[in-house]
């Protein structure tokens, strides 16, 4: 009987947590959705529009402020050298999706590490500007990235991360074209 009462108290306390939890760590602790990897892209329009030119980055790899800069109307005529033309409703849909799923709104371990590494710096426009991302790739010889015609830069996540389309950017899925499986 004492075990049942203890269990009931623990369950009641766990269910009460959302009522007094102020944010982040408590949401993460009680979330059934927490995982290590970034959530894969789930909006077909985002995958189609962004993926038509480059890897459609999971929104959890950048903070909301970055997505707001990247998808601002004035940014689209020069989106990394490309003129992106889209209807306002489509732009708004993509921005809303990216902002809602941005790193600073995600409970995944990778997104939390990205946000922590940003500190007080301004919102980056490139994933390759994030300290956490640079640190994760610092041991890879430059010739295997920039000197590799099949990779070219850290922006080409899916060139080496074989499960990138599923949101899995972990070390175990890395195969560098022309070099094979990466050994950390």
The DSSP-derived string for 69-88 is HHTSGGGGGGBTTB-----H
Q: For residue range 116-131, list pLDDT tens digits in order.
A: 999 998 999 999 999 9
pTM of the model: 0.79
Buried b / exposed e along 19-58 (16+ C-beta atoms within 10 A): eeeeeeeebbeeeeeebebbbebebeebeebbeeeebbbb
What residue spans define the domains of the chain? Answer: 44-181
Q: For residue range 136-183, list pLDDT tens digits in order.
A: 999 999 999 999 999 999 889 999 999 998 888 988 889 999 999 988
């Amino acid at each position: 009987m004492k075990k049942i009462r203890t269990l009931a108290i623990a369950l009641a306390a766990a269910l009460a947590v959302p009522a007094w939890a102020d944010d982040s760590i408590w949401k993460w602790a009680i979330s059934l959705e927490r995982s290590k990897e970034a959530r894969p892209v789930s909006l077909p329009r985002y995958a189609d529009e962004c993926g038509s030119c480059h890897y459609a980055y999971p929104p959890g790899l950048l903070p909301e402020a970055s997505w707001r800069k990247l998808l601002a109307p004035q940014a689209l005529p020069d989106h990394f050298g490309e003129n992106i033309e889209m209807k306002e409703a489509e732009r708004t849909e993509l921005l809303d999706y990216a902002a809602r799923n941005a790193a600073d709104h995600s409970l995944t371990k990778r997104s939390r590490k990205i946000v922590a590494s940003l500190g007080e710096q301004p919102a980056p426009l490139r994933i390759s500007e994030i300290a956490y991302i640079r640190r994760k790739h610092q041991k890879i010889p430059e010739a295997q990235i920039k000197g590799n015609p099949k990779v070219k830069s850290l922006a080409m996540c899916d060139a080496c991360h074989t499960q990138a389309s599923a949101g899995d950017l972990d070390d175990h899925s890395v195969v560098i074209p022309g070099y094979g499986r990466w050994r950390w």
